[in-house]
Chains A and B, each alone.
Chain A
Amino acid sequence: MKFNEQQIAEFNRLVARYPEGKQKSALLPVLHLAQESFGGWLSTETMNYVAELLNITPIEVYEVATFYSMYNLKPVGKHVFEVCQTGPCMINGSDNIINYIKEKLKIEIGETTPDGMFTLKTVECLGACGYAPMMQMGKFYKEHLTKEKVDNIIEECRKNAALNN
């Protein structure tokens, strides 16, 4: 396991933002980079590699990786649906959206479909309260969700997967 050239360049850019000797400050962004680069989650091996790169102890990486909710500590599907369930989304029917996704994909919250395509997670407020209900999918938000919109998103993901095979 190693970053490729392009990833190393990004790593160097991240570390350069902090004063000399304060390279640990880059830990959060570097963990994001590692998660994106190595299959969408952080294995112990990945975390140890990050520790080595930043010249800190592995435990310093584990502490951080377990504290923040965006780091996945076990494998996830190709597409992760992170549906907000806090008050403002709840008022606008997030329960219905979550139940619909569960039924449609036949998985419970926290599970991944057997084909490894989709993981369903619930999350707390993502700052999209005026555009509820919503979910995060990778880098972007999907807002004003309806059952039809969910259908379309799932179909799109499947179509893209078929194209790429």
Chain B
Amino acid sequence: MSKKLLLEKAHVEGIRFYDVYRREGGYNSVEKTLKTLSPEAVVEEVKKSGLRGRGGAGFPTGMKWSFIAKPEGVPRHLVCNADESEPGTFKDRYLMEFLPHLLIEGLIVSSYALGSNDTYIYIRGEYAWIVDILEQAIEEAKANGWLGKNILGSSFNCNIHVQRGAGAYICGEETALIESLEGKRGNPRIKPPFPAIKGLWERPTVVNNVETLAAIVPIINMGGEEYAKIGVGRSTGTKLISACGNINKPGVYEIDMTISVEEFIYSEEYCGGIANGKKLKACIPGGSSVPILPANLLLKTAKGETRYMNYESLSDGGFATGSMMGSGGFIVLDEDQCVVKHTYTLARFYHHESCGQCSPCREGTIWLDKLLYKLEHGQGKLSDIDLLWDVQRRIEGNTICPLGDAAAWPVAAAIRHFRDEFEWHVNNPQESQIKNFGLAHYADAIQPITV
């Protein structure tokens, strides 16, 4: 059994409500923080913990916090990113639905560390019922003295507000999120200035993911050093993985990052194997934006070593033969799935979600969508595959925000690893409309590349 730091109490009856949560040791980290730690000391603990942002980019949280500007007389803000819209990702929803007080607790400690008296949770508009759950938890916390003025007799004041988005993946990007919080379209800002200098209402702002902020609670309770002992290398602590696709047990799992990908997929504790006794064909291990891998490269690296569920191992081999941890959205495809069709739905997604500010992204995502539609529907030519490659290459790195890259990478990886399947669609236009390419050679053992 993996050690559980976040979901340990998720199944305790009534844990969604304050009384039970408190009885189970909830809010102890706030007490410890306000009574024994300075804001700087909290930042120091987070640095020691090695915690990396759980929203997708994996940036060290303690370092991010230490960048916040502190100009005299200007309020600072912490914003919790609960926009969760990356296909394959549904872990933050789980935390907020079942353990709302864990997030609130993490937010209070983090707000104290950053000096935020008004903290905002920006939640995707579709999670409408979760807004009620969070607001109720906030009311309970306030009624019990954990929020409001002079918390626990300290001089620290803090309020938490929940703002609903309205359906736009791009608002998960932190500067688009800030624009949206200001009541505008979600157009990402050009950086610099970074939000830590000029963010919400031009004030210093830190944006962190839900899971990142929840992880602050165990870090304070056990101490940063102890937290850092869990996991491996620079993948410290535990990570939530939302697993979906053709597996027996889709759901949200907390792992310590020492288990292998194979164990995660096949053990009863996690995904429980591929559904209906089928074979594994491919997997997108970290949300739709990260490269898809065929079964053989997923379970073993190009060097023939076991691949593990952590930041370093999942990205072993770079984009040539590896992928990324990303947001922890783990999408599994079995032998009956068509990679061309799956990639097409993702390209359509990015086309739909591009904010339209930069031409390479706005126009490029249209091209990706259209070309993949043609290929998937048996109307493509071999040259379209090359054109697809060319278009994605021209988007990557040429845009204001990383959505452009996020649209390009899945397409690039699909062509890189599944070119045969694309070509089969072109060469068998009719057949490809009634059946799929199947498993082919995608699970065959690969000849280890020795360097």
Residues of A near any B CB (own CB < 8 A): 17, 19, 22, 24-29, 31-32, 54, 56, 60, 63-64, 67-71, 85-88, 90-92, 123-132, 136, 139-141
Contact = CB atoms under 8 A, between A and B. Distances in A.
Q: Interface size for chain B: under 10, 10 to 19, 20 to 34, or 35 or more residues?
A: 35 or more
Interface stretch (B27-35, B158-166, B302-310): B158-166
A22 B331 contact: no
Given A86-B345, A87-B346, A29 B163 contact: yes
B359 to A, nearest CB: 18
B182 A88 contact: no
Interface of B: 75, 84-90, 93, 118, 120, 124-129, 161, 163-169, 180-186, 201, 242-246, 250-252, 284, 288, 329, 331, 333, 337, 341-342, 345-346, 348-349, 352-353, 355
Nearest to B161: A17
Given A28-B165, A29-B164, A130-B242, A19 B90 contact: no
Nearest to B125: A70
Given A90-B345, A129-B88, 5 more contacts: A17-B161, A71-B166, A127-B85, A128-B93, A130-B252
A87 B87 contact: yes
Contact of A85 (B93, B169, B345): B345
A123 B180 CA distance: 20
B87 A64 contact: no
Contacts of B180: 28
Contact of A88 (B84, B88, B184, B251): B88
Contacts of A85: 345
B246 A91 contact: yes
Contacts of A31: 166
**Which 5 interchain pairs have the tightest Cβ spacing?**
A27-B183, A68-B166, A130-B250, A69-B167, A70-B167
A69 B166 contact: yes
Given A87-B331, A124-B169, A67 B163 contact: no
A24 B126 contact: no
B211 to A, nearest CB: 13
B331 A140 contact: no
Given A22-B201, A90-B341, A124-B353, A129 B329 contact: yes
Given A25-B182, A28-B163, A85-B345, A127 B90 contact: yes
Contact of A124 (B165, B201, B333, B352): B352
Contacts of A28: 125, 163-166, 180, 183
Contacts of B201: 19, 22
A141 B97 CA distance: 13
B186 A67 contact: yes
22 contacts: A17-B118, A17-B120, A17-B161, A22-B182, A22-B201, A25-B163, A28-B166, A29-B164, A32-B164, A60-B183, A64-B184, A69-B167, A70-B126, A87-B288, A87-B342, A87-B345, A88-B88, A129-B250, A129-B331, A130-B243, A130-B244, A130-B252
Contacts of A69: 166-168, 352
A125 B128 contact: no
